[in-house]
Chain A
């Protein structure tokens, strides 16, 4: 009786569980292999990927992002406040202070070679403080307006300054050269390229040297006709040299 009841129950239960019993279950060996592969793959991942996964998971929440943003805003405000308090101290020195030295700065004109009336000196000569304690400050490297190149100023020719030093026969040359020099000074920075500028300055120095020497010679011996001839020719060369700049500029302007 009992056996028959048990068989009847089995007949009901086994068909119902047949699907479960017949499902393929991985063997223990397969499970071990799968677990090993997962472990190996985790270990082979680079560190930055692990870190990135952690960070991205941590900050994906909107509330955390909002809190971080708030902190950033507060931090930037604090930084601006700190900078504002220190601003007057930083912006005060517009140039770097230099420790006073024992070297005496040379006079801008003292080192000029004789006859170099076209010598170039910087526009600004750095002032050297003579008093004050030595301290390190932040230099202000902001560039001044205009091109980055060193702006130069042409030193006016020292030759014939007044009418008494102008020798007979050279007045017209001196006047012409003076007027040409003024216009050329404005043009030569733009008109001459690097190599041309070097050639121009060199030739001008050559001509000026000749003028200086010949003037001295003519002053010493006014009857020296050869010296006079060379002097006048040198003046003419200087005029031609200066004129060439203007003529070139005129030519280029006419072609635009």
Chain B
């Protein structure tokens, strides 16, 4: 007999025997009642972790309070009010407390506080992580307040305070009515700024940026915005030093060209679209690779290099000249200037 046949017979014999044994065992066994559903035990929170709930605290502060906090997760809303008090409400999240970092020498009120998470461990309250988590986090702060926020996955909205500085690993950021500067960085999400003033530094890695009605609060305030993957739209900006940079996305600007201003618009892979008043004046330096340059406004051509190659450049004077400068650069896209 072939070895293959022997093996087959052996396997068949073993299978038959296994079935027989299983049947015998099953036949001798008493029918078991259906297992009881597992009892739903209440799982206690691990040590160092607070159960979710609603928590609210308030603290009297100086008018120019500096509020720092970090948020693991949640939707954060910050609103300015006229009271010298910070009120914070966490809905469906961790318990927290205010930690006074610095007090005013004049009034004795806190000028710098941190909102830190706390955990219940028996009777003792001990912080494990400073970062707060919650479904919603509402903060009311004096209009002169400065917000320093670090977030991991937080959607942040700030309205009506003096200054914001937000660094977010993921989540959208929206600010409005900020009077003295915005620094906002998110590595995944959109950025929107409206009706705000002061120096601005806006950056997102993956997301779009929209800014309108912004201006400086002091002479020399810089407006700087950058995205890696996304479009940038900027409208009605009063800053005189503007840098708009996108690696792969379209850049759109609509507004005035102010005297003495320096405007730089850059994209590696996308178009640059400007809408300017007919009375705009300044020096234009446009570089583009694979694309075109179109200008509806009258300009006086100074130099032009449109020889075949990866770089074409045009230098010209817009309107009456003036001392504003516009630098427009795209590697792969067109540049267009339209009349507003």
* CB closest chain-A residue, reference B23: A55
> How many angstroms between the C-alpha atoms of A202 and B228 in the bound complex?
10
Across-interface contacts of B289 in A (CB, < 8 A): 210, 213
Question: Interface segment, A2-10, A68-76, A95-103, A141-149?
Answer: A68-76
Across-interface contacts of A240 in B (CB, < 8 A): 226, 228
Q: Is the CB of A244 within 8 A of B150?
A: no
Interface size on A, residues (CB 8 A): 48
Q: Is the CB of A68 within 8 A of B226?
A: no
Q: Is the CB of A59 within 8 A of B23?
A: yes
Across-interface contacts of A78 in B (CB, < 8 A): 10, 14
A residues whose Cβ falls under 8 Å from a Cβ of B: 52, 55-56, 59-60, 64-65, 68-69, 71-72, 75-76, 78-79, 82, 195-196, 199-200, 202-203, 206-207, 209-210, 213-214, 216-217, 224, 226-227, 229-230, 233-234, 237, 240-241, 244, 247-248, 251-252, 254-256
Q: Is the CB of A251 within 8 A of B331?
A: no
> How many angstroms between the C-alpha atoms of A202 and B269 in the bound complex?
11
Q: Is the CB of A230 within 8 A of B269?
A: no
Tell me the chain B residues, 186-203 only, with Cβ under 8 Å from chain A. 187-188
> How many angstroms between the C-alpha atoms of A55 and B24 in the bound complex?
8
Question: Interface segment, B95-103, B107-115, B306-314, B318-326?
Answer: B306-314
Across-interface contacts of A60 in B (CB, < 8 A): 27-28
Q: Is the CB of A244 within 8 A of B205?
A: yes
Verify if B235 is at the interface (C-beta below 8 Å from A). Answer: no
Q: Is the CB of B13 within 8 A of A75?
A: yes
Q: Is the CB of B27 within 8 A of A55?
A: yes
Interface size on B, residues (CB 8 A): 45
A-B contact pairs, 9 of them (CB 8 A): A52-B27, A59-B23, A60-B27, A82-B7, A82-B10, A233-B329, A251-B167, A251-B187, A255-B150
Q: Is the CB of B131 within 8 A of A255?
A: yes
B residues whose Cβ falls under 8 Å from a Cβ of A: 7, 10-11, 13-14, 17-18, 20-21, 23-24, 27-28, 70, 72, 129, 131, 150-152, 167, 169, 187-188, 205-206, 226, 228-229, 245, 247-248, 266, 268-269, 287, 289, 305, 309-311, 313, 329, 331-332
> How many angstroms between the C-alpha atoms of A256 and B72 in the bound complex?
8
How far in angstroms is the closest Cβ of chain B from A82? 6
> How many angstroms between the C-alpha atoms of A251 and B129 in the bound complex?
14
How far in angstroms is the closest Cβ of chain B from A221? 9
Q: Is the CB of B248 within 8 A of A226?
A: no
Across-interface contacts of A214 in B (CB, < 8 A): 310-311
Across-interface contacts of A203 in B (CB, < 8 A): 228-229, 247-248
Q: Is the CB of B10 within 8 A of A202?
A: no
Q: Is the CB of B188 within 8 A of A196?
A: yes
Cβ-defined partner of A206 (8 Å) among B24, B129, B269: B269
> How many angstroms between the C-alpha atoms of A52 and B23 in the bound complex?
9
How far in angstroms is the closest Cβ of chain A from B6? 9
How far in angstroms is the closest Cβ of chain A from B116? 13
Cβ-defined partner of B20 (8 Å) among A59, A216, A217, A233: A59
> How many angstroms between the C-alpha atoms of A217 and B266 in the bound complex?
19
Known pairs A60-B27, A217-B311 / 16 extra A-B pairs, C-beta < 8 Å: A59-B20, A59-B27, A75-B10, A200-B228, A202-B229, A203-B248, A206-B331, A210-B289, A214-B310, A226-B305, A229-B287, A230-B331, A237-B245, A241-B228, A244-B228, A251-B150
Q: Is the CB of B17 within 8 A of A230?
A: no
Q: Is the CB of A68 within 8 A of B247?
A: no
